[in-house]
Amino acid sequence: MKSPEYIICTIIAIIVAAMFYISMNPIMDLPVHVKICDSLMSGILFGILSLLLKDIVKYANYRSFSIMQQVINYTALSVLFILGTVVTEYYILQIVFPIENIVDIVYPTLAVRIIISLLFFGISVIFYEYMTIKQKDNESETSEEKDIEEEVPLVENNTKSEEEPPVEILEHIAVKNGQKIDVILIPDIIYLKAEGDYVMIHSTKGKFLKEQTMKYFDSHLPSNKFVRVHRSGIVNIDFIASIESYEKQTQMLILKNNVRVKVSITGYKALKKVLNL
């Protein structure tokens, strides 16, 4: 069975080919079969580059960067994306159809090609970002359903952990950010979310990616302020604006920065205990 990415990529490639033909037909003084070939090449090239873009969005983890860094990275990607399609098309047209002055004939369509490429580049990025986030959420839900029976005993065995040496509670977190180090005060942390082998720290100063485990933060953050509401999420109760019902008898937290955080059954029990509900 083909994955949704390949199906969507094929659909977009067909739409791109159709849009190229409709847009180029009135302004290109070339035989019909050349225009059709040009449009098909545009769609195929776009589909191939879209598949590469899928892996870049999935593994580059641009969402962990600042807004400015994301803009710069995606702008550079879009330039490479457009150059890859347009330049390749020109070369293929010259090789397959040795028509005199074909470059001069195709040149006036450059602006239209760039606009269409940018449009579908943006659509592809948004789609793949959505699919990546959805996949991570599904993996977290599946993992939680399998391990929910293991989590409950951990909550029930808190009396045993009290006998162990006290854990040092964090007062701040240092995070490397390029060539500098940012220091995040614990009260400024809004919530933490697992990002593979890293943890994304959402704070009043912005987002910071820390190479650490959720288990570490769960045990080293003040337990009267921070609650692990999900296997992939720890929330500062001072930033909770409201709690709403969600599907499958679970809850959804609405934070003061309007971010929504899903709460598991076990996490809701722990949250009610801290909030004295």
161 SS3 class: helix
Report residue 58 as tokens. 């999935």
159 burial level (CB within 10 Å; 0-12, 13-18, 19+): exposed
For the chain, 277 residues long, the average pLDDT of each consecutive 10-residue run is 64 80 76 79 78 75 70 83 78 72 67 80 78 66 50 45 65 84 91 88 89 89 90 91 80 88 87 87
- How confident is the model at residue 118, as a pLDDT? 82
Which contiguous run of DSSP H or E holds residue 115?
Answer: helix 110-156
Domains and CATH numbers, the chain: 4-135 (no CATH), 165-275 (2.40.50.1020)
pLDDT at 65 (0 to 100): 67
pLDDT score, position 195: 85
Q: How far apart are the first and last CA of the chain?
A: 47
pLDDT recorded at residue 164:
56
Residue 75: both structure tokens together: 């702008």
Q: What are the structure tokens assigned to 264, written together?
A: 């598991």
Q: CA 188 to CA 272: how far, in whole Å?
A: 22
pLDDT on residue 190: 92
**Amino acid residing at 6:** Y
**How much is the pTM?**
0.47
3-state secondary structure of 105: helix
Residues linked to residue 189 through DSSP beta bridges, in sequence order: 203
